[in-house]
Amino acid sequence: MVKRILTPIQKFVRIESLSGLLLFGATVLALILANSPLADRFQSIWEYKMGISTSGFELIKPLILWINDGLMAIFFFLIGLEIKRELLIGELNSVKKASFPLFAAIGGMLVPVLFFLLLNKNPDNAHAWGIPMATDIAFSLAILTLLGKRVPIGLKIFLIAFAIVDDLGAVMVIALFYSGSINWSLIGISMVLLAILFFLSYRRIYAHGLFLVFGIIIWFLFLKAGIHPTIAGVLMALTIPIRQQMRVESSVGDLCEIVDGIRDSADPSSPLLSKKQIEGIDSLEDWTEKVQSPLQHLEHKLHNWVAYLIMPLFALSNAGVAFQGGGSLDSMLGGIIAISLIVGKLIGVTLFAWMAVKFGFAELPEEVNFKQVIGVSLLAGVGFTMSIFVANLAFFGNDYLLDSAKAGILIGSLIAGVSGYLVLRMGSKKVV
């Protein structure tokens, strides 16, 4: 049982850790190119416009918006799948399981926002309060994994769980505070389509093609309605059924019959499959589709694409800040964001987690101590992906403030990551 539980978590940690290294590489490359003689050409790549245009329809955007509005909708779709899984059958499916990471995540969202609001005196920057809320799970897990056996699996589960709650909070903030003027008629149409998908999910009816077509339409409706289209990705994820059409236990006999048919119809003298074998393989594919959880299947298929392509591409296109000196950046804005990420997360996560334990609302995970919680609270200050995403929304069209915010995110994330690593290394003993 323990092996069945830990293996998926360990696979998740490995994928996110490698993704963190790719994110780091893409970030460094973006910074080098943005401050090199190739800067103008590098920037022009992301400004290149592409899309679809007909006599009655036009959807043309710069490449960077196709990444931020399109590919990142897939990233948010995966987040939605993870949130649904954790709420129904994972680390957040009961009050006892969810309490510790839930309180930590609430503190990790509220206190950084409070720090930003208290420190910021410029009304032009006030809209950026949501930037220090989020934690980058890929970067933070990559740093945690560098410690190897010094950190218990319970600490990794804690980080994953509170980062997912953190993501849910960020999604809600984006939907409520970082969307434009809303066209409610288009939202109404998208809600009808979502209701149809929820009904089909309730009836355990799932067709890849239908959900894909509906998803594209809902994404487009959100885009035109004024709500950021990545929110459509999260809502679409919630419509994906988690239950199989057919239980494995009740259909093992069918599987044995299919496998026996494939084996018995083999022709040893031919390198080709027989007609019956091909029919058997088709039956095996149908059986596999029916016993798989659609949510689990999509999560498994998308995780590598998101971790190894979409997130590094997002970092490459968004992390390029030109440090040209001479007051080219708003150092006050960058400093406030960095402080909010480092100190806000440190105090917020640690304080709320401690209060949850102190007042009996939660208990520390097994083999986890508060020195390690402090280290993880520093790692929570690695905001990167979601923080840059919110910065793009807060300062859209204002490159000066956007670059200043990105600089603060990068500096704050770097300091938080190094500090968290050192605290965890000193506060954890190697487990043999």
- Cα separation values, 363 from 86, 97, 102, 186, 295, Å: 19, 9, 12, 45, 30
Structural domain tally of the chain? 2
Q: Are residues 364 and 263 both part of a single domain?
A: no
For 304-345, the pLDDT digits (tens) are 898 889 989 998 998 888 776 545 788 999 999 999 999 999
Residue 203 maps to a domain: no
Residue 9 maps to a domain: yes
Residue 36 maps to a domain: yes
pLDDT at 229: 87
pLDDT at 350: 96
| 354-357, long-range: CB < 8 A, 24+ apart | 355/103, 356/99, 356/100, 356/103, 356/104, 357/100
pLDDT at 250: 56
pLDDT at 14: 62
Q: Are residues 133 and 278 both part of a single domain?
A: no
Residue 300 maps to a domain: yes
pLDDT at 6: 46
CA 188/CA 182 separation, integer angstroms: 11
Q: Are residues 281 and 338 both part of a single domain?
A: no
Q: Are residues 262 and 236 both part of a single domain?
A: no
pLDDT at 432: 44
Residue 198 maps to a domain: no
Sign of the torsion angle spanned by Cα atoms 220, 202, 165, 296: negative
Q: Are residues 129 and 37 both part of a single domain?
A: yes
Neighbouring CB atoms inside 10 A of 29's CB total 16
Q: Are residues 312 and 405 both part of a single domain?
A: yes
SS (H, E, C) the chain: CHHHHHHHHHHHHHHHHHHHHHHHHHHHHHHHHHCCCCHHHHHHHHHCEEEEECCCCEEEEEHHHHHHHHHHHHHHHHHHHHHHHHHHHCCCCCHHHHHHHHHHHHHHHHHHHHHHHHHCCCHHHHHHHHHHHCCCHHHHHHHHHHCHHHCCHHHHHHHHHHHHHHHHHHHHHHHHHCCCCCCHHHHHHHHHHHHHHHHHHHCCCCCHHHHHHHHHHHHHHHHHHCCCCHHHHHHHHHCCCCCCCCCCCCCHHHHHHHHHHHHHCCCCCCCCCCHHHHHHHHHHHHHHHHHCCHHHHHHHHHHHHHHHHHHHHHHHHHCCCCCCCCCCCCHHHHHHHHHHHHHHHHHHHHHHHHHHHHCCCCCCCCCCCHHHHHHHHHHCCCCHHHHHHHHHHHCCCCHHHHHHHHHHHHHHHHHHHHHHHHHHHHHCCCCC
Q: Are residues 387 and 307 both part of a single domain?
A: yes
Nearest to 87 by CA among 235, 261, 253, 238: 238
The number of residues making up the chain comes to 432
**What is the reported pTM?**
0.77
Residue 13 maps to a domain: yes
CA 249/CA 83 separation, integer angstroms: 27
List the pLDDT tens digit at each of the 432 positions of the chain.
444 444 455 556 566 667 778 888 998 999 999 899 998 999 899 999 998 888 777 888 999 989 988 998 998 898 888 888 877 877 667 777 778 999 999 999 999 999 999 999 999 899 999 999 988 877 888 888 778 777 887 788 888 888 888 888 888 888 888 877 788 899 999 999 999 999 998 887 888 889 999 999 999 999 888 888 888 998 999 999 887 666 666 567 667 777 777 777 777 777 777 777 777 777 777 767 677 788 888 988 888 898 889 989 998 998 888 776 545 788 999 999 999 999 999 999 999 999 999 998 888 877 788 899 999 999 999 988 889 999 999 998 888 999 999 999 999 999 999 999 999 988 766 544
108: containing domain: 2-179+228-243+293-427
Nearest to 34 by CA among 258, 329, 284: 329
Residue 223 maps to a domain: no
**CATH code, domain carrying 378:** 1.20.1530.10
Residue 276 maps to a domain: yes
Is 376:158 a contact under the CB 8 Å cutoff? yes
Q: Are residues 123 and 257 both part of a single domain?
A: no
Q: Are residues 274 and 174 both part of a single domain?
A: no
Q: Are residues 154 and 274 both part of a single domain?
A: no
Q: At what angle do helices 230-238 and 153-177 cross, to 10 degrees?
A: 120
pLDDT at 54: 82
Q: Are residues 395 and 420 both part of a single domain?
A: yes
pLDDT at 118: 96
Q: Are residues 280 and 317 both part of a single domain?
A: no
